[in-house]
């Protein structure tokens, strides 16, 4: 269990039609700028990693997205994870070939769990990040596919355990209830995941102020915190955030 490592701060860029976008609860998207420029700026100002998600990864858009991944890889010197429309091994090869360090799978893994086994046996666990979009409904936490559009019968905690058993090296958990609302992360669920699983858990959904990051590390026990709009729109600067966390006893890079 590597829970003593320095905590990571990870900006997330949701890409639609070549632009960075951000919404609330997965809808009402607005533009947040050029992804390559944003990535380079984050790399320079202390982000530990980047996550890129092609949120409308239709077949036609893949070529454009791959070219953008190549441009980003040339402009940054930190690890980055790419996801969206990863359905088979050839998608993983294409994105790693374009310069991604890790690949994120989500809907395709729920439809075909053995995809995780295939990726990890071929490229290693460290390449496979399993993204889980879940919502707390009246009957508990359920996983959703298709960018949060479709509920599955898979329960969050048992699915997270299964993907780790299949070899996923990290879990990226987004609480749909908290996404873009800016009132804090889903710390209770995060704490349970972090205590249950032997791999790093990345928290996503809910960052609104610096104290939310402190809470997600102290209460949610997350290994990394991912956010989008607070970084994209200049509400929180990464150097200030890292200073604040360090002052409050959190080990950061």
CA distance readout (Å), 156 to 58, 111, 153, 164: 26, 15, 10, 12
Report the distance separating Cα 114 and Cα 239, nearest Å: 40
CB 20, CB 55: distance < 8 Å: no
Quick one: which of 176, 247, 180, 174 has its CA closest to 214?
247
Report the distance separating Cα 155 and Cα 140, nearest Å: 8
CB 22, CB 61: distance < 8 Å: no
Catalytic residue among 48, 54, 91, 133: 133
Catalytic residue among 14, 54, 91, 215: 14
CB 171, CB 132: distance < 8 Å: yes
Quick one: which of 15, 59, 55, 61 has its CA closest to 39?
15
CB 62, CB 85: distance < 8 Å: yes
Q: Give the E-state strand segments of the chain in sequence order.
A: 8-16, 19-24, 27-33, 50-54, 80-83, 102-105, 128-137, 140-145, 150-155, 170-175, 201-204, 224-227
Active site residue 133: yes
Catalytic site positions? 14, 133
């Amino acid at each position: 269990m590597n829970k003593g490592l320095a905590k990571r701060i990870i900006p997330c860029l949701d890409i639609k039609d070549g632009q960075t976008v951000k919404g609330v609860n997965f809808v009402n998207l607005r533009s947040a700028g050029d992804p390559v420029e944003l990535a380079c700026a984050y790399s320079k100002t202390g982000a530990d990693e980047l996550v890129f998600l092609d949120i409308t990864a239709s077949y036609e858009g893949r070529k454009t997205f791959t070219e953008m991944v190549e441009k980003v890889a040339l402009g940054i010197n930190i690890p980055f994870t790419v996801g969206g429309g990863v359905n088979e091994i050839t998608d993983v090869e294409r994105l790693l070939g374009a310069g991604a360090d890790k690949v994120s799978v989500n809907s395709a893994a729920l439809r075909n769990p053995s995809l995780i086994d295939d990726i990890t046996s071929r490229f290693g666990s460290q390449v496979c990040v399993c993204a889980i979009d879940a919502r707390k409904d009246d009957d508990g936490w359920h996983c959703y596919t298709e960018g949060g559009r479709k509920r599955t019968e898979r329960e969050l905690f048992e699915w997270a355990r299964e993907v780790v058993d299949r070899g996923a090296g990290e879990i990226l958990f987004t609480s749909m209830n908290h996404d873009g609302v800016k009132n804090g992360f889903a710390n209770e669920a995060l704490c349970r995941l972090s205590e249950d699983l032997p791999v790093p858990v990345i928290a996503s959904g809910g960052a609104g102020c610096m104290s939310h990051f402190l809470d997600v590390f102290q209460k949610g026990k997350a290994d990394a915190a991912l956010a989008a709009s607070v970084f994209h729109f200049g509400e929180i600067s990464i150097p200030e955030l890292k200073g604040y966390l360090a002052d409050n006893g959190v080990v950061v890079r």
